[in-house]
Structure 1
Amino acid sequence: MPQQHRKLIAILVDGLSADYFDAHRQRMPHLSAMAEDGTRVVRLASAVPATSMPGRATMLTGAPPERHGAWGNHIFDGQTFRCALANDLKVPTIAGRARAAGRDVAAIGHAMVHPGDADCFYPPWWLRGFVDGSRFAKSARLDGGIYTDHVLDPDDRLAAAMVADGPLLLSADLAEDAAAALMNGMHNDQRSLAAVAALACSDSPPDLILTEVAMTDAIQHLHGFASDPAHWAFATADLLIGSLLQRLEKAGRLDEYVVAVCSDHGHAQMETALFPGAILPDHLWEAEGATLHVVARSAAERREAAERLAPFGVTELDSTHVPEPHRDRIATFVAPDRHSFEAKPDGLPAEQTMGPPKYVSTHGLRPGDPADDRFCAFYGAGIGRGSIDRAVSEDYLPMLAGILELPATDGDRPDLLG
């Protein structure tokens, strides 16, 4: 008889910081129960910069950005900044490693997973801008349309599992406004979690399922850290995870699956946006929240950028998170407390260098800033009650690999779950 391994559902809840959970855990009873009855990493540090694609890539690979290659939401290709994609990863992901070990893998809406590393694959609903263009566009399509080029379900398992739940993503006739987009996005998060539950409780449950709850980040960006909309978003995310746990228990699958919930970065309230386009009009740059990357083709250009940014309280960091061969050409800067970098809105005077932020809460803060520490907890089959005070970003992957009993690689850190 073949050896039976534990199965794993890994859920990324976008932007759930350790600080927010500690202050508002009563709003999230299911995550609180996971943290109390399972094993919680109290403070899991973020990758550098603490933004979406570097965070996801490090979670999936266990490697820092300078090794895995996704060192920003947009990476410099020698000519311009373009979106970081799964194809850019230079280190195998947990999905690829699990599949190579003979495990059955499903990726339902998880960014930075290559379709070729999954037996069942559905693209992230919020990455339409990545699929269709060169810029990051984290929003739902209000016409309800979806891109189907990368859907992979060769045995119709997802389609069969979702019969009782309806289609994975429903079309929506919604007005084109921000509130409608956020509601449509949360609806799509709900459909993704329903698909995960249907697959896990089906006759062919995957060994590894990767998924996301994405709108919690966007709602904080637009409405603020610990705002009423943010409270609603996280309470809703908690309900979605609670529903999944209840369905697993009812189907008798909670003894088979470990459920891991982790965020990609934290969040912090902003007061002022700095406009690099006005401060550095002759430079090519890319903003990553409170982190700024500037292309510096010479030492003189690097010094000039630093001198122009210094009066705004901006300080230069090293660029060790940038892989070769571009490390020497990227100057990395960080904004002062409660400041971020944004493109200047249309209609402002050319000389205006700062203003109210569009994203009133953000991340990508100075490396080591506790506001970018994030939530992480493991619950389910074989997970005992425990607490890990602190861990670095690269520690998450070895814990996933240990649950699945995958062979360790030379780059893996020790498995903190033991």
Structure 2
Amino acid sequence: MTTGTFSVNGRTYAKPVSPVVVICIDGSEPDYHVEAMAAGRMPWLSKVLEWEGSSWPAHCAMPALTNPNNVSIATGRPPSVHGISGNYIFDTELGEEVLMNDKRFLRAPTIFAAANEAGLDVVVVTAKDKLRRLLGAGLVEEGPALDGSGEFVAPSRRGICFSAEKADQATVEENGIGDVLALAGRPLPDVYSADLSEFALAAGVEILATRGADLMYLSLTDYIQHKNAPGTETANAFYEMIDHYAGRLAELGAIVVLTADHGMSAKSDDVGLPRVVYVEDEVCRILGIPDDAQANGLRVILPITDPYTVHHGALGSFASVYLPEGADHEATIAALRDIEGIQEVHGREAAVERYSLPADRIGHIVVLAEAGTALGRFAAWHDLSGLDAPLRSHGALGELRIPFLINRRLPTPDLLDTPFGDPARIHNYDAFWVATTLVAEEESAS
């Protein structure tokens, strides 16, 4: 291990003297681990929090979605800095709705790229492949880093970045590592399964055990959380599995952080049907648009949309609305606020200020649903045939609260920089700073 520091995006990180592993448990509201510990299913974490660890209330970045928050953790900054405002956006330059899963959308280098260039051994393992190209920027040839002028440059050294979803396709040339299935000792997992997350964790453990790493990021999938509430047997078994691998990482000497990209909320009524506000229909009603919304200049973007919609049907709780030319923005905002199930509605400038969003990658209006309500475009646009359980989803303030736990006893940092709602001190994107710099400061003071 090395000593010293490296800096990126205005923050300074201590080079760790012990391996640092951040585990992002996708969709993990705090009640999941609370219930699992109460049931005796997370013995390692229970022991850590009793004797040697720290746990603080924390917030995710907004919107409470996978891509924006994984990239926030990876850059140490909110979307206003790194530019990833959703899984899916309306690209105004192309005039098309596109997935934000390519490095061209990044506006800031990652911690991983900076650490890699500073000589650290960096490993990133994602469950889903949609994150690999974003998080791997600066580690492998396919994903070069941004330099200080915003231009992409090839990394001077190589790290490791691959996904569990396509672990069978990983090569040294593309991903910095090959033969991943043999390494993990597991078959290729189904993308819609708990096995996808377990594969990522198992691979991380084997990499740390056999070749070591300085910085490691393991990003899981929220398949279980979309279908199972906290305290259920399936959820508890999943968190027991996470506890097992986190404990093994700690046994290998790692500083381990458990956090999440977002929480999760039940969004169905008493008989199990999705409780949905169809935003495009509502705005058409407000503006008097009779049909063909897009032909009339109206476009509603649901940034939760991605290639993996089976478990949520593209129904989240955050929507971005592009209004027709000449539409009364303030009147539309006021009318949307009166709809049952809507928690907040903001114009672009207010949303940018309150939620640290990039102004050019959101609509004229953003709409946030209450925790128990989902947002859709219009009913026919959503394929809900894959929903085999009551809808659970995310995107807004109801899914803001997340866990933040570390296996080190530390003073409470006061890092909250955006008043999203409930009191909190830190964000998920402080994870690597806490695990490197705050740990180093505390160890040097003791």
> Please, what TM-score do these two structures have when normalized by structure 1?
0.72
Structure 1 counterpart SS, 2:360: coil
Q: What's the offset of the Cα at 1:159?
A: 4.4
* 1:102 aligned onto 2:91: no
**Equivalent position of 1:353 in the other structure:** none
Instruction: Give 1:207's match in structure 2, choosing from 194, 206, 214.
Output: 214
Q: What's the offset of the Cα at 1:13?
A: 0.9
Give the distance between the partners of 2:163 and 2:31, measured in 1 at CA: 27
- Paired residues, what number? 354
Alignment-mate amino acid for residue 163 of structure 2 = P
Q: What's the offset of the Cα at 1:113?
A: 0.7
Identity %: 19
Alignment-mate amino acid for residue 9 of structure 1 = V
Alignment-mate amino acid for residue 70 of structure 2 = R
Instruction: Give 2:199's match in structure 1, choosing from 183, 191, 196.
Output: 191
When residues 197 and 326 of structure 1 are mapped into structure 2, their CA distance, relative to the original with a 3 A threshold, is closer
When residues 295 and 146 of structure 1 are mapped into structure 2, their CA distance, relative to the original with a 3 A threshold, is farther
Tell me, yes or no, if the aligned pair for 1:48 and 1:54 is still in contact at 8 Å. Answer: yes
Give the distance between the partners of 1:8 and 1:415, measured in 2 at CA: 15
Q: What's the offset of the Cα at 1:301?
A: 5.5
**Equivalent position of 1:336 in the other structure:** 370
Instruction: Give 2:281's match in structure 1, choosing from 269, 278, 281.
Output: 278
Structure 1 counterpart SS, 2:135: coil
**Equivalent position of 1:384 in the other structure:** 409
For residues 66-118 of structure 1, give each alpha carbon's deviation from its aligned partner in whole angstroms, at most 9, with x where no partner exists.
11101112123102332222512212211011111111111122633125325
Alignment-mate amino acid for residue 47 of structure 2 = A
Structure 2 counterpart SS, 1:264: coil
When residues 157 and 290 of structure 1 are mapped into structure 2, their CA distance, relative to the original with a 3 A threshold, is closer
* 1:83-102 correspondence to structure 2 within 5 Å: 83-85=99-101, 87=103, 88-102=105-119
**Equivalent position of 2:224 in the other structure:** 219
Tell me, yes or no, if the aligned pair for 2:164 and 2:199 is still in contact at 8 Å. Answer: no
Q: What's the offset of the Cα at 1:297?
A: 5.0
**Equivalent position of 1:81 in the other structure:** 97
When residues 97 and 86 of structure 1 are mapped into structure 2, their CA distance, relative to the original with a 3 A threshold, is farther
Give the distance between the partners of 1:156 and 1:49, measured in 2 at CA: 29
Tell me, yes or no, if the aligned pair for 2:75 and 2:110 is still in contact at 8 Å. Answer: yes
**Equivalent position of 2:323 in the other structure:** 296
* 1:113 aligned onto 2:135: yes
**Equivalent position of 1:237 in the other structure:** 242
Instruction: Give 2:30's match in structure 1, choosing from 18, 24, 34.
Output: 18
Structure 2 counterpart SS, 1:332: strand
Instruction: Give 1:47's match in structure 2, choosing from 61, 66, 70.
Output: 61
Instruction: Give 2:401's match in structure 1, choosing from 367, 373, 377.
Output: 373
Give the distance between the partners of 1:208 and 1:11, measured in 2 at CA: 11
- Does 1 or 2 have the higher relative contact order (CA < 8 Å, sep 6+)? 1
Structure 1 counterpart SS, 2:138: helix
Instruction: Give 2:392's match in structure 1, choosing from 361, 364, 367.
Output: 361
When residues 152 and 262 of structure 1 are mapped into structure 2, their CA distance, relative to the original with a 3 A threshold, is farther
When residues 279 and 36 of structure 1 are mapped into structure 2, their CA distance, relative to the original with a 3 A threshold, is same
Alignment-mate amino acid for residue 198 of structure 1 = E
**Equivalent position of 1:166 in the other structure:** 185
When residues 117 and 231 of structure 1 are mapped into structure 2, their CA distance, relative to the original with a 3 A threshold, is same
**Equivalent position of 2:258 in the other structure:** 261
Q: RMSD between aligned alpha carbons? A: 3.7
Alignment-mate amino acid for residue 296 of structure 1 = L
Give the distance between the partners of 1:69 and 1:267, measured in 2 at CA: 23
Give the distance between the partners of 2:391 and 2:189, measured in 1 at CA: 30
Give the distance between the partners of 2:66 and 2:381, measured in 1 at CA: 29
Tell me, yes or no, if the aligned pair for 2:168 and 2:180 is still in contact at 8 Å. Answer: no
Instruction: Give 2:50's match in structure 1, choosing from 26, 32, 36.
Output: 36
* 1:124 aligned onto 2:139: no
When residues 86 and 102 of structure 1 are mapped into structure 2, their CA distance, relative to the original with a 3 A threshold, is farther
> Please, what TM-score do these two structures have when normalized by structure 2?
0.68
Structure 2 counterpart SS, 1:92: coil
Tell me, yes or no, if the aligned pair for 1:291 and 1:335 is still in contact at 8 Å. Answer: yes
Structure 2 counterpart SS, 1:402: helix
**Equivalent position of 1:316 in the other structure:** 345
Alignment-mate amino acid for residue 100 of structure 2 = A
Instruction: Give 1:395's match in structure 2, choosing from 422, 427, 430.
Output: 430
**Equivalent position of 1:411 in the other structure:** none
